[in-house]
Amino acid sequence: MKKSFLLVVTAASLMVSCSTPNNSFYDSTFELADVQLLEGPFKHAMDLNLKTLKQYDVDRLLAPYLIQAGLEPKAEPFSNWSGLDGHVTGHYLSALAMYYGATGDEWCKERMDYMLSEMKSCKDALGNGYVGGVPDGQKVWDEVRSGNVRILGKYWVPWYNMHKTFAGLRDAWYYGKSEMAKKMFFDLCDWGASVIEPLDDKQMESMLNTEYGGMNEVYADAYAMSGDTKYLDIAKRFTHHRIFDSMLEGVDNLDGLHANTQVPKAVGFERTSEMLAKAGLPDEATEYNKAADFFWKIVSQDRSIAFGGNSRSEHFPTSEQWLDYIDDVQGPESCNTNNMLKLAQGLFRVNHDVSYADFMERALLNHILSTQHPEHGGYVYFTPARPEHYRVYSQPNSGMWCCVGTGMENHAKYGEFIYAKDGDDLYVNLYIP
């Protein structure tokens, strides 16, 4: 097996030797444009997903942003999941950027640029760097800034919501090559810094009990993009020590917790680790990597079922509850696997261990690929292990679930992890039929 793997590396290296220079933002990662999918189920899913994205009404997606900026929306906002207004918009922006990066599709670029222009109008109207669709956003963030972090629980999950906008702007810069997006991203980062600056450590820890997506990840990314250590410090402030400390000690304390609240935290631990290493802080980097890796191991090996998904009714079950998977209609959530793949890919960037690639292949083939309806392109929330059960697929401009947002991105970047590079070494990671 080892000999055949090395032969593949030698042959493949001839095909990519003229590729773009080493990616300095995501180490060992090829640009999406460097790897083209051939005909097969993954190419089908990628093409179908783009057709699905083209059916969404972008002005309805943007409406919450204009409303919160005091501007007249050009269309009515979506009513489904309105308490999280704006979250799918960030995912949609990311997906457009990924497709443009992968294919050069001009429609994607034009729509991405239109979204950025509208979002910039919202940012300029507010004048403080903020842009977002969180309902009553200015009130919420003023309360948080004053120390009333409990208000977050009354508005669903505002930081989780905002993370999608942060990530959308980052992706519009990285994949979409937009300098406007980069400027807006840093303005938003500075706004976020002003919100948490008055909070002490106890208030931060209390605030982080409420789902906050990967806010630590995007601030680590801000450091990667700028080299400014203030952003790395903020990434560390978004460390939820209830989870981080247990993971660092090798203690699994995840029973009963909302699963996709926890996975993005570990994604952020890993990304913070990478940036701490680049900042010349190896001891801290090792700690963050250790916490992220332990989380990945216990979830991928002890808390996931055969196809790579995890959670029942969105929560991590205890070991005594595992048999309930075959009865529960709300099986593993698609968002969880999306984020576990991010975590595995990040850990692989640091340590090219085959176990991360094995998990990526298992989860992509058996879960993520199946979360898209193969004919109309709708997205799946839950994949039950219940025998002879069924799944519910979304429709464009209707379902606005969290897994609709991650679904938009899932099928846009299948080429990103097929290969990896490290100096003159080429890694062939995935079987992609």
Count the neighbouring beta carbons within 10 Å of the beta carbon of residue 307.
17
The total domain count for the chain is: 1
Q: What is the DSSP string of 164-190?
A: HHHHHHHHHHHTT--HHHHHHHHHHHH
Q: Which of 41, 45, 19, 18 shows the shortest CA–CA distance to 32?
A: 19
Spatial contact of 87 and 71, defined as CB atoms under 8 Å apart: no
Find, among 305, 197, 206, 297, the residue nearest to 254 by Cα.
297
Residue 79 lies inside a defined structural domain of this protein: yes
d(CA 33, CA 308): 27
Distance (Å, whole) CA 209 – CA 242: 9
Average pLDDT, consecutive stretches of 10 residues, N- to C-terminus, the chain (433 residues) = 37 39 80 97 98 98 98 96 92 99 98 99 98 97 98 95 98 98 99 99 98 99 98 99 99 98 99 99 99 99 97 95 91 98 99 98 98 97 93 95 98 97 96 92
3-state secondary structure of 35: coil
In a domain, 369, yes or no: yes
- Whole-angstrom distance, CA of residue 411 vs CA of residue 49: 6
Residue 189 lies in a domain: yes
User: Are 420 and 29 within 8 A, CB to CB?
Assistant: yes
Residue 433 located in a structural domain: no
The per-residue DSSP string of 198-262 comes to T--HHHHHHHTTS--TTHHHHHHHHHHHH--HHHHHHHHHT--HHHHHHHHTT----TTSBHHHH
pTM of the model: 0.94
Distance from C-alpha of 357 to C-alpha of 416, rounded to nearest angstrom: 12
Q: Is residue 171 part of a domain?
A: yes
222's tokens: 């801000």
Domain that holds residue 353: 2-428
**CATH code (residue 250):** 1.50.10.10
**pLDDT at res. 10:** 38
Beta bridge partners of 312: 315
What is the token pair recorded at 183? 């400027």
Given this model, what pLDDT does residue 83 score? 86
Q: Please, which residues bridge with residue 427 across strands?
A: 420
Which pLDDT score is estimated for 372? 98
The rounded Cα 244 to chain-centroid distance in angstroms is 19
What is the number of other CB atoms lying within 10 angstroms of the CB of residue 245?
13
Contact yes or no for 267/336 (Cβ under 8 A): no
The CA–CA distances, whole Å, from 360 to 42, 227, 253, 308, 353 equal 14, 30, 24, 9, 12
Inside any domain, residue 40: yes
Residue 164 CA to residue 406 CA, distance in Å, equals 10
Query: Cβ distance 302 to 281 under 8 Å?
Result: no
Radius of gyration of the chain (CA): 21
Residues 6+ apart with CB under 8 A from 220: 231, 232, 235, 268, 271, 272, 274, 275
Amino acid (one-letter) located at 125:
A
Rounded CA-CA distance 36/408 in Å is 19
